[in-house]
Structure 1
Amino acid sequence: MLKVEKSEFMSISVSRSFLKKDLYSNKYKRRDLNKIKTLFDLSEKNNFTIDDQTWNDLIMDEVFNELDRTYSAEGEAALYKMLRNPIMDEEELDKRGNLIELFKKDIDLTVNLRKIFFDMCYDKKNRLIEMINGLLSVSKLKYYLYTILGLTPIVWILAAIILREPKVMIILMLDIYTKIYVHNKERDTINTVGLVYLRELIDAAKILSSIKNNEIKSYTAKMKDLLNELSAIDKSTYLLTLTNSFFGIIDMLSVPFFLQESIYYKISGKLIEKKDTILELYYLVGEIDALISVAIYQNNNDGKYSKPKFIKATSLKIKDGIHPLLKKPVANSIEISKKGIMLTGTNMSGKSTFLRMVSTNILLAQTFNFVLGKEYEGCFLNIVSSLSPKDDIINGKSYYLAEAESILRIIKASQKEIPVFCPIDEIFRGTNPLERISSSAEILNYINKGKAICIVATHDRELSDMLKENYDFYHFSEEVDNESGLKFDYKLKKGISKTRNAIKLLEYVGYPKEIIQNSYKRMEKIEGFI
């Protein structure tokens, strides 16, 4: 694995040979997802945006880390935003897919673009977004005041020369000391680091927009238009590249002249006025970095992925699908059309992983036009999940109440124009068996009547008779013995699971024989009673 560390506030130029080799390396870096998601948090959401619960259910933070080979903070933010906003338009997906193919095939173009992103200062704390997101202080009075006071050192120096009076230099020293004090007071407000990152964004966009390539012309032309809108800010921030150069020496020299203060208060109002334009440029630059990242991921997983086929009928077909986070994945296939799917099976046999595999591939298909599998055919789907959380209390609510609200999200989504894909794991686990099974059966039948493709994993085999008209049944299984332990094949099989392993697992990990034997006896009595 190639690794070059870049400091937050320093760009490092590297050779083309390094960048070529880095295309085939695994990308390791420390990421702050709370910072990376800021652009998404600020952006407008739509009816198909992946909500927080679904994102967390599918372990998408880790999937993001797996896909992320970006160099810039803009690229990270754009990649995250793209994953949270699936596309419901085949033409738009094809455009993304074509760009990804371009970046895979045209290595020279990709390396040239990567060099631009690598040479940018890496804004790991998202200072630019933080600065323009409501933290700007606007004051025309301060602009005029600092501009005028910035000229006083020149006045005192000229006075000392003309009057030949050394004592004037004492006044100059007091003037400088006062300005150092004011500069330190204003530093948090001005946050010039954010302005420097804005300068970096503008410079990178200028270089990108100058690239002559018809296939990325839609990006470069749009960048030129946005840069024209930001021309006044461009000119004003140019001096900031000097004040933060040479290890801060010029920064110190600029303090007596209130250079940073004057520039900041001159353009702070313009920054607020052009906030949306800056964010659009930020995302546009980042989108190229993000698409290159996906192209690199595909190149490093050659033979494991394919292009999805989208159809109008409410159905889904995945052949030999795998999950991106598994090092040694077991491929599984599924076809769903008019009926939903009920998964049964014992603990740890693969049900939850299967739900996430299908969901993640739907998301990859509808964001980057590829899936991890040999074949994918399906309609556009709105993904809304309800997988089992680990805690019994969620955000101050009982597990049952939280899950009831979670399932209601799915019911509402099933009434929309775009069909909903709803993976559900252990529905209503937090309530008594009688009410759980009764309400689960009614809810699952109701969802299947709407525009929905539903896969539900459950241990409640009693649901099979209640749902047989609207659901097909599949299961996962394993073997447990005292010699070889647990043996899972993680392969999806038709039918309802006939085995249980909870008591066998207790025996395997070393529970007393008395507990094991009495548990089996008690289970036989309960089954006989039922």
Structure 2
Amino acid sequence: MNWVIGKKQKRRNRIKAQFGKNPMELEAWESLEKRMREIRMYEELVVQDVKKEEWQSAGSVDTVTWNDLEMDRVFARINHTRTYMGEQILYHRLHNMQTRQSCEDMEKRISFFSCRESIRTEIEEKLMRIGKQKESCYLPFFLTEEINPLVIPGAILYFLQGLLAFCLIGAILLRSNLWATGFLVVAVVNLLIYLHTKCKYEGNLFMVSSLKELFDFCNWIVKKLEPDRPEILHALEKTQKLSHRILRWQTRKYQSISGDVTGILWDYIAGITLHDVVAFYRIQKTLRACKKETMQLYTFAGEIDMEIAIASFRKSLPQWCCPSLQSDGAISVEKISHPLMADAIPNDFVLKKGVVLTGANASGKSTFMKAVAINVILAQTINTCVAKNMKMPAIQVMTSMALRDDVLQGESYYMREIKYLKRMLDELKTGEPMLFVIDEILKGTNTRERLAASNAILSYMVQKQGFLLIATHDLELVYALKKRYDTYYFDSQVHEKDIVFPYKIRRGIVGKTNAIDLMELLDFPEEITDQARREAGKR
């Protein structure tokens, strides 16, 4: 008994110690990356059920933007969750902007979990029992009839069960070889059906087990916290029959898995009588009848896990704030940082309409733009900003940054870039407020056409509703846009054999570049660097 108590206390101490820590220190990115396919499943399933244009109008983060901003890694940075449904709900939440009311409701629960350590620890302990089994991640698909059709109609199963019993009674009462033969034939048929379906059911055993644990957790949390959620109480009542059936089926199945003589005997009896097949059929049928309520509980438990993860994420940050969402106005940030950078240099910034960023190579332009875009997304998904203060209107984010050739699709760099830009121009037609972030526009083509086309595109976009944050090395383009865009830059300083980056944003246009300085620091031949400086001086 003391050993059990000691183990429980040790687990609770570990939970307390992990709260407020960077999850990427507890689980390496390489390990999480292998599980990303399963984590994405809930988001993919939800998107399948809704037309893409509806998601865009509701405020979703598109695939290009998600990949440009490395949002999988941002998800990993926040992912303090204890369960598979918590991971999937968090991943889904980061894709979809929330209404102000939704953020306010979530904020109340996050504040509660942040302040009540004992209750939060107890909840996390319960969530850990559900865990992150790979098989359980398929549960959202398991609930869809298209993915998991009933293998054999129930009427046939019931008929075979009845026929087996009828033949057995006839063989006993009439002592007839004919009835005995009939019994053996039906028994063999039933056993073959059982063996045919056993692999499928065995594969779903852990998934269904986690479903039972989900119901148990929701029942416990409702009694513990008594949330004002009548729909959850209704869902628990509607799924009570399913919970009981899963428990009975689990008990029988785990007996046969034990491997002893009694378990093996009962396994054969269950096969001949189709007991397990019929039991699982009833579970599936009952599940179909309460699919909506089951998904409500799935989301409810996942959101609790997600909200504790957000509270932990906030505690792990040196500085954070809840955003101040306004109906209009500029994007104004104070001491903003990138969430993936532990020792980031914070910056103050105001984006009234359009901004062109210039600066030396590696001076921090791209990182800063990603920091702004990511924080705009986090502000409207998890009500959290990695900044001292952030004011902004409700806006969607769209980027064109991390471009490369697509050999498999046969698309050049330039072709992919203009497609990314076209999707932005198409979005402008909707009239929805947007933040467009573009890094090195049209660098995949020749200088003359790049400058002309870039000037035309950016001059057009700045006249429409929304915000633009642009980075470029083309000073000719910067001066062409100067009347329509505010200008900021990141500087660099060369000291003897080293180059220093302050990573502080300044107003104005960069006064110097460092491409040739970097070549010298890497010991390029003097003949190359001297000629480069002479050529640069002529321009």
Alignment counterpart, residue 395 of structure 2, candidates 378, 381, 398: 381
Which string of whole-angstrom CA distances, capped at 9 and with x for unpartnered residues, describes residues 9-42 of structure 1?
xxx9975444333324443344311111111111
1:34 correspondence with 2:37 = yes
Classify the secondary structure of the residue corresponding to 1:211. Answer: helix
Q: Which letter does structure 1 place at the counterpart of 2:103?
A: L
Q: Does 1:462 align with 2:476?
A: yes
Going from structure 1 to structure 2, the CA distance change for 1:138 and 1:309 (only over 3 Å counts) comes to same
Distance 1:151 1:111 in 2: 51
Partner of 1:233: 242
**Unaligned runs of at least 5 residues, structure 1:** 1-11
Superposed displacement of residue 519, structure 1: 2.2
* 2:18 equivalent in structure 1: 22
Deviations, residues 282-325 of structure 1 (Å, cap 9, x unaligned): 12210111011101111222x51112111222310001101110
Q: Is the 8 A contact 2:358 2:365 kept in 1?
A: yes
Equivalent-residue separation in structure 2 for 1:343 and 1:161 (angstroms): 91
Distance 1:412 1:423 in 2: 15
What's the TM-score, normalizing by structure 2? 0.85
The yes-or-no answer on 1:294 pairing with 2:290 is: no
Alignment equivalent of 1:310, drawn from 325, 330, 335: 325
* Shift, 1:109, TM fit: 2.2
Determine if the alignment matches structure 1 residue 354 to structure 2 residue 368.
Answer: yes
Q: Does 1:129 align with 2:159?
A: no
Aligned-residue offset at 1:99: 1.2
Output the aligned Cα RMSD: 3.1
Q: How does 1:3-18 map onto structure 2 within 5 Å?
A: 15-18=11-14
- 1:35-434 to 2 correspondences below 5 Å: 35-43=38-46, 44=50, 45-47=55-57, 48-87=59-98, 89-125=99-135, 126-133=137-144, 134-138=146-150, 142-147=153-158, 149=160, 181-190=192-201, 191-193=203-205, 194-213=207-226, 216-218=227-229, 221-245=230-254, 248-249=257-258, 252=267, 254-272=270-288, 274-301=290-317, 303-337=318-352, 339-391=353-405, 393=407, 395-434=409-448
Of the structure 1 ranges 154-163 and 447-456, higher mean CA displacement relative to structure 2 is found in: 154-163
How far apart, CA to CA, are the structure 2 residues paired with 1:18 and 1:252? 40
Counterpart of 1:354 in structure 2: which amino acid? Answer: F
Residue 512 of structure 2 corresponds to 499
Q: How far off is 1:391 after superposition? A: 3.8
Q: Work out whether residues 359 and 383 of structure 1, in 8 Å CA contact, stay in contact via their aligned partners in 2.
A: yes
The separation in 2 between residues aligned to 1:355 and 1:394, in whole angstroms, is 29
State the distance in 2 between where 1:352 and 1:95 align. 34
Q: In structure 2, do the counterparts of structure 1 residues 515 and 115 end up closer, same or farther at CA, with 3 Å as the change threshold?
A: same
Secondary structure of the equivalent of 2:479?
helix
Whole-angstrom CA distance in 2 between matches of 1:506 and 1:183: 71
**Structure 2 residues not aligned, in runs of 5+:** 1-7
Q: Deviations over 1:483-521 (max 9, x none)?
A: 23x321111111111222222222222322222222223
1:156 CA displacement: 8.8
Taking structure 1 as the reference length, the TM-score comes to 0.86
Equivalent residue number for residue 5 of structure 2: none
Match of 1:3 in 2: none
Displacement of 1:123 in angstroms is 3.1
SS at match of 1:238: helix
Task: Count the aligned residue pairs.
Answer: 506
- CA distance in 1: counterparts of 2:278 and 2:481, whole angstroms: 71
Q: In the superposition, relative to structure 1, how do residues 38 and 459 fare at CA in structure 2: closer, same or farther (>3 Å)?
A: same
Q: CA deviation at 1:367?
A: 1.4
With over 3 angstroms needed to count, the CA separation of the structure-2 counterparts of 1:148 and 1:209, relative to structure 1, is: farther
Amino acid at match of 1:504: D
% identity of equivalent residues: 24
CA distance in 2: counterparts of 1:118 and 1:398, whole angstroms: 47
* CA–CA distance in structure 1, aligned partners of residues 525 and 96 of structure 2: 51
Distance of 2:509 and 2:89 partners within structure 1: 43
- Is the Cα contact below 8 Å between 2:249 and 2:280 reproduced in 1? no
Q: Indicate the residue corresponding to 1:489 in structure 2.
A: 502
- What is the letter of the counterpart of residue 131 of structure 1? F
Q: Secondary structure at the match of 1:210?
A: helix
1:477 aligns with 2:491: yes
> What CA distance in whole angstroms lies between the structure 2 residues aligned with 1:268 and 1:91?
36
The verdict on how the C-alpha distance between 1:447 and 1:276 changes in structure 2, with shifts beyond 3 A counting, is farther
Report how far residue 274 of structure 1 moved: 4.2
Separation in 1, partners of 2:481, 2:131: 57
Check whether the contact 1:83–1:367 (CA below 8 A) recurs between aligned residues: yes
Distance 1:246 1:264 in 2: 16
d(CA) in 2 for partners of 1:169, 1:501: 93
- Asked whether the equivalents of residues 45 and 141 of structure 2 are also in contact (C-alpha less than 8 Å), the reply is no
Cα deviation 1:255-281 (Å, max 9, x = unaligned): 343233112333435544544443332
